Amino acid sequence: MNRLRVAIGISGGVDSAVSAWLLKKKGFDVVGVYMINWDPVEEGSAACSRTKDETDAQYVCEKMHIPFSTVNFVKEYWNDVFVTMLDNYRRGRTVVPDIACNSHIKFERLHHHAIEKLGANFIATGHYASTSYGDFQENQQPGSGVKLLCGADPLKDQTYFLCTLKQEQLKRAMFPVGSLTKTEVRRIAREQDLDEIADKPESMGICFVGKRKKFEKFIDQYIEPCPGEILTLDGKHLGHHQGVHHFTLGKRIAIQGCHLGYFVARIDVSNRIVFACEGSHHPSLYATEFCLSEPQWIDRNPLADAEETTLECRIQRTHQPIRCHVKRVALNLLSIKPVFPLRAVADGQVCVFYDGRECLGGGEVQNIVSTLEY
């Protein structure tokens, strides 16, 4: 009987390395595939961390005696993720490119490549998440929907970044480290003589890009300067800026002579004005209601039989889910009222809904309806 083949997206990090080992231990026919999503030409003469990651990925596969290959998605990443990201930055919107990368690249392009070119039955990644089908598809139920569930490690749970995945993507996905903590993953790596991989720093910033350079210098290579003013909420001039793409709501602005510090309270893209408030807890930073585009519901739509309901939501991965009132106010538009005001909710940010451990899906913030009075 032929073994089921699983293609593991091998990144050179500890999570995918341990995922590969767990899959092999379970008896699957494992093949490793490393994605090249960024053109090294874009890095100029600077050292390219992709080379180190690819070297580490190949080392992991050789150590585990599993086939290693690479696949180039530079064009797809540029068109499906990066161009959209730049457009949103120009419009003064907050961007979560890792969500788009997962939806369009890892769980779409990679999945098709693994199935069509590598003969894989399933595709695995090192995400800290689970599904109702089980970490290794052991609870698979043909004909039934699959739910996306939070990983066992609350500090590392990555369902926020997987919130727009579709049923067909999740039905062929495995998350081998979903039931483990980061500490357990590092321990397993050391036990398998992968100390260098176990101790490797976690990658931060934009998926495949942001870990290379300081973000502002990086983004300035792709977005032309568009100078404007920095004003207080009552119109007092504070200074100038070189483009709204440098700012997100709640971000500190360096203004001389201010004891508490100024923070971005609002962005007027049309007039190129960044409005600032004094102090990190100014009332203008706290949203009491905001509107959201219709989420990509993963398994079930909680508004299918009602115009309103109560759920839990997150607007950032590191935030704890909080209860919120959700109401449909128009076609494909929801009103969200959190039980207490949320700081720095911004246009373009993704609000993700939960029901206990289940991640229901997420949608983009379209506008802030109201903030605390000031």
* Residue 328 reports pLDDT greater than 60: yes
Please give the average per-residue pLDDT across 292-300, as a whole number. 96
pLDDT at 308 over 80: yes
pLDDT tens sequence across 183-235: 999 999 999 999 999 999 887 666 655 455 577 888 899 999 999 999 999 99
The active-site residue out of 61, 101, 150, 324 is 101
Q: Please, what is the average pLDDT of the chain?
A: 93
pLDDT of residue 69: 98
pLDDT band at 45 (very low <50, low <70, confident <90, very high): very low
The pLDDT-based confidence of 51 (bands split at 50, 70, 90) is confident
Domains of the chain: 5-198 (3.40.50.620), 224-280 (2.30.30.280), 284-371 (2.40.30.10)
**Annotated catalytic residue 207:** yes
Mean pLDDT of 91-116: 96
**226 part of the active site:** no
Mean per-residue pLDDT, 44-72: 85
Q: Residues 61, 150, 163, 207: which is the catalytic one?
A: 207
- Percent of the chain past pLDDT 70, that is, above it, reads 94
Sheet holding 68-72, edge to edge: 68-72, 29-36, 5-9, 122-124, 173-174
